[in-house]
C-alpha cells in the first residue's frame, strides 16, 4: 500500500473516499467538520441532530456522492470523548476506516487529520493504523476476494510548517507497521510451515536484508554451550532446536550506554509435552512463539530507526512434544547458568527456554533485559485479553517501559514481584522447581522463575499470553496475531 502526504485542499480531491473523524460532544459540528457541513449543504448538521452522527468511538457514517466534494464517498468515524483522544485512538480510527472501506471495493482514499493535531505522532499513528489493519490472516485460503484491497492512502491536512513532521511520521509509522506485520505473519504460520529451523531461516533472511548481524546456533552449538534447560524441552521432538541471535550496533555507540537484551520465547508448537494439554484449542499453540516473533519484529524496525544504543536479541526456538525421549515430570535439568531445575510440569516449558536465553544474552553483554512470552494461562485469568502483564526487578527500568507503553498506546499492567513468591518455586530436590506446588499466582511464579536467571541485571518480563492473539476480529484488526508489545519496545529503545 502506497502512503503519501496530500497537501492539496480536500475539496479538490477526487479519490474513492475521504475519511475524517469527529468527537462525542454536545455539538460535534465544528472545525473541519463544520467546513464539510457547509460544503454538503448542512447535511452533517442534520445527521447530528437526528442522532445518526454522534461521534461515539468507532461509529461509522458513510455518505455517498457528498454534495460540494469531488470524492465519491465521505466516511465519518467517531473518535469518542475529546479529552480521551490520543494517538492510540487515532490509530484505531484509521484502521477501522481502512477495514470498512476495503470491504466496499474502495482502492484509494484520503484520511484528513483534524485541525490542531497535525503532528509527527498523528501521521505515524495513522500510518501504523492502516498498515496493521490491512493485514489479513487468510494466507492459505484459496477463495480470497482479490478485488478487495487498498492500493493507496493519502494523509491530508499537512501543509507548510507541518509538512516535514507529517513526512517523518509516515516514514516512522511504515517502519513500525511493516515490522509489526512481519511479526504477525510469523505468528500466523502453522507449525508444519514454521519449525525452529524455518523460523531461524526467516530470521536470518530478515536480518541480512535490513543489515543486522545474525548468528544461528544449531543443536550442537547449543549442547556445547550447555543450554540444558532448552535442550530438555527440545528432546521430545524430532525437530532440532535453534537459538537465533540478532544484533544491532549503532554507528557511534556512546561510552557507558546500556546494552539492551531482548529475549523472546519461540515454542513453534506446544503440546504441553508429557503433561499434555487438552485437545480443545490446542491448534492455537502455533502462536506460542509470539514472544520471539515480536522481538524479531522489533529488531527489524530498529534497523531502520537506528537508535543510539546496542541491542542484542536472543530467541530460543523449539517444539514441545511428547515423544519417547521427552522429559518427564520429576526430571531434574541443569540450565546454562549451572542452576538445577526440577521439572514438575512439562507444560511450563517457556520459562525453561527463557532461562538459557536470558543467561546467554547476559553473556553476550546485555546490561538491561526484556523478555516477552506467551507464558501462562494465569495471566489471562488475571488480566483477560486486555492488558499485558508486566513483571520487573528494577523499578526505574520498569517505569521506563510502562511510560513507553502508554506513549505507544498498548495496555500493560504492573504485577507484584514480592520476595514471598520466591518460596513458591523453592525446589525440594533441585535448586528451583518450574511450577509452584498448588499455591496459586501462576503468572507471578512463572516470572519469579525467570528472574532467577536475570540475577542483578535490570529485567522485565512481559506475559503476552492473553494479548498476542485475537480470537475475534476487531473493527481495526483482523482475527489472529496482534504483534503486541512491538510498538512499546521500539518506543522504549529509541527513547533511551
Matching CATH topology for 2-158 and 189-494? no
Q: 115: alpha, beta or left, given left = phi > 0 and alpha = psi -120 to 50?
A: beta
| Mean pLDDT of the region 226-246 | 98
Would the pLDDT of 4 be above 90? yes
Among candidate residues 73, 351, 362, 400, the one labeled active-site is: 351
Considering the entire predicted model, what is its pTM? 0.97
Angle between helices 163-188 and 486-494 (to 10 degrees): 130
Q: Residue ranges per domain, the chain?
A: 2-158, 189-494
Per-residue confidence band for 254, with pLDDT thresholds at 50, 70 and 90: confident
CB 369, CB 454: distance < 8 Å: yes
Residue 116 reports pLDDT greater than 90: no
C-alpha cell at 491: 518506543
User: pLDDT-based confidence at 253, cuts 50/70/90?
Assistant: confident
Alpha helices, H only, 11-154: 32-39, 43-50, 87-102, 120-133
Closest CA relative to residue 261, chosen from 452, 460, 483, 487: 460
265 a catalytic residue: no
| In contact, 282 and 377? CB cutoff 8 Å | no
Question: How many angstroms separate the CA atoms of 363 and 358, rounded?
Answer: 9
User: Per residue in 175-208, pLDDT tens?
Assistant: 999 999 999 999 999 999 999 999 999 999 999 9
Task: Please tell me the predicted confidence (pLDDT) of residue 147.
Answer: 79
We find that the CATH architecture of domain 2-158 is: 3-Layer(aba) Sandwich (3.40)
- Please tell me the distance from the alpha carbon of residue 376 to that of residue 391, in angstroms, as a whole number: 13
- Percent pLDDT > 70 in the chain is 100
* Strand (E) or helix (H) holding 167: helix 163-188
Burial bucket for residue 197 (CB in 10 Å: 0-12, 13-18, 19+): middle
CATH of 189-494, one of 3.40.1390.10, 3.75.10.10, 3.40.50.300, 3.40.630.10: 3.40.630.10
What DSSP element (H or E) covers 446? helix 442-454
- The predicted pLDDT at position 157 comes to 92
HSE-up of residue 467 (Cα within 13 Å, Cβ side): 23
Q: What is the pLDDT of residue 145?
A: 72
What does the pLDDT average to over 31-43?
95
Would residue 351 show up in a list of annotated catalytic residues for this protein? yes
Predicted confidence (pLDDT) at residue 369 exceeds the cutoff of 90 = yes
* pLDDT band for position 143 (cuts 50, 70, 90): confident
Name the active-site residue from 46, 277, 406, 422.
277
Amino acid at each position: 500500500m502506497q502512503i503519501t502526504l496530500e497537501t492539496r485542499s480536500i475539496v479538490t480531491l477526487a479519490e474513492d473516499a475521504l475519511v475524517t473523524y469527529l468527537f462525542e460532544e454536545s455539538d460535534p459540528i465544528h472545525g473541519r467538520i463544520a467546513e464539510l457541513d457547509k460544503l454538503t449543504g448542512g447535511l452533517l448538521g442534520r445527521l447530528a441532530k437526528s442522532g445518526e452522527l454522534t461521534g461515539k468511538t468507532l461509529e461509522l457514517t458513510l455518505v455517498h456522492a457528498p454534495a460540494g466534494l469531488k470524492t465519491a464517498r465521505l466516511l465519518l468515524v467517531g473518535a469518542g470523548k475529546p479529552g480521551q483522544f490520543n494517538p492510540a485512538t487515532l490509530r484505531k480510527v484509521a484502521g477501522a476506516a481502512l477495514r470498512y472501506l476495503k470491504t466496499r471495493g474502495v482502492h484509494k482514499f484520503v484520511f484528513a487529520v483534524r485541525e490542531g493535531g497535525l503532528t509527527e505522532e498523528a501521521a505515524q499513528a495513522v500510518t501504523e493504523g492502516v498498515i496493521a489493519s490491512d493485514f489479513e490472516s487468510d494466507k492459505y485460503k484459496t477463495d480470497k476476494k482479490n478485488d478487495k484491497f487498498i492500493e493507496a492512502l493519502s494523509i491530508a491536512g499537512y501543509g507548510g510548517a507541518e509538512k516535514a513532521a507529517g513526512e517523518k511520521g509516515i516514514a516512522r509509522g511504515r517502519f513500525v507497521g511493516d515490522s509489526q506485520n512481519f511479526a504477525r505473519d510469523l505468528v500466523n504460520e502453522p507449525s508444519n510451515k514454521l519449525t525452529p529451523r524455518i523460523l531461524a531461516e526467516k530470521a536470518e533472511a530478515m536480518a541480512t536484508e535490513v543489515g543486522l548481524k545474525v548468528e544461528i546456533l544449531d543443536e550442537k552449538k547449543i549442547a556445547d554451550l550447555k543450554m540444558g534447560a532448552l535442550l530438555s524441552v527440545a528432546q521430545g521432538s524430532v525437530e532440532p532446536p535453534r537459538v537465533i541471535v540478532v544484533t544491532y550496533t549503532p554507528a557511534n555507540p556512546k561510552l557507558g550506554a546500556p546494552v539492551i537484551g531482548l529475549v523472546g520465547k519461540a515454542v513453534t508448537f506446544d503440546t504441553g509435552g508429557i503433561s499434555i494439554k487438552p485437545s480443545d484449542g490446542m491448534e492455537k499453540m502455533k502462536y506460542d512463539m509470539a514472544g520471539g516473533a515480536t522481538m524479531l519484529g522489533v529488531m527489524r524496525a530498529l534497523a531502520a530507526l537506528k537508535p543510539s544504543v546496542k541491542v542484542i536479541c536472543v530467541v530460543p526456538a523449539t517444539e514441545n512434544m511428547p515423544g519417547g525421549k521427552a522429559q518427564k515430570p520429576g526430571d531434574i535439568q541443569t540450565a546454562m547458568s549451572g542452576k538445577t531445575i526440577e521439572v514438575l510440569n512439562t507444560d511450563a516449558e517457556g520459562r525453561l527456554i527463557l532461562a538459557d536465553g536470558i543467561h546467554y544474552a547476559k553473556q553476550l553483554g546485555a546490561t538491561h533485559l526484556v523478555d516477552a512470552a506467551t507464558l501462562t494461562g494465569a495471566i489471562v485469568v488475571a488480566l483477560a485479553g486486555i492488558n499485558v502483564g508486566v513483571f520487573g526487578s528494577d523499578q526505574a527500568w520498569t517505569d521506563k517501559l510502562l511510560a513507553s507503553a502508554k506513549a505507544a498506546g498498548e495496555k500493560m499492567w504492573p504485577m507484584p514481584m514480592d520476595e514471598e513468591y520466591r518460596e513458591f518455586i523453592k525446589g525440594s530436590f533441585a535448586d528451583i522447581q518450574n511450577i509452584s506446588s498448588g499455591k496459586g499466582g501462576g503468572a507471578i511464579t512463572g516470572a519469579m522463575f525467570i528472574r532467577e536467571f536475570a540475577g542483578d541485571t535490570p529485567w522485565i518480563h512481559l506475559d503476552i499470553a492473553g494479548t498476542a492473539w485475537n480470537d475475534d476480529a476487531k473493527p481495526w484488526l483482523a482475527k489472529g496475531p496482534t504483534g503486541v508489545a512491538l510498538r512499546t519496545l521500539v518506543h522504549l529503545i529509541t527513547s533511551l
